[in-house]
Structures are given as structure tokens and as C-alpha cells.
Amino acid sequence: MTEKEVGELYARLAFQYESSINSLLARQIIDMDLATTSREKFCDSLNEEKLGIS
């Protein structure tokens, strides 16, 4: 997988993840604090994974 393909995959993952978080927030299934924490952990895990691939 090329670096460009990895970048596109990560962009799609982030978009889907963000859409899911927004849906949960809109339905009041999660609160903003949980969403913020979850987003941070998700971004950190993507960054760690990206470093492993590089």
C-alpha cells in the first residue's frame, strides 16, 4: 500500500468515525466529554498506526 493509499484510507476512517460520533451525540447516547475523549484516543491510535506503517 502506498503512502497516498494509506492517507486516503485514514481520511475515510476519520470521516466515518466522525459521522458516527456526531450521530451518537445528536441522539444523546453519549455526552460531549465522552465524544472528546473518544476522538482524542481515535486520533492517537491512527497516529501510532501510521508511525508503525512508515
Domain that holds residue 43: 3-22+30-53
pLDDT score at 48: 86
In terms of residues, how long is the chain? 54
pLDDT score at 3: 83
CA–chain centroid gap for 35, Å, is 11
Q: Average pLDDT of each block of 10 consecutive residues along the chain (54 residues)?
A: 87 95 97 97 87 70
Domain count across the chain: 1
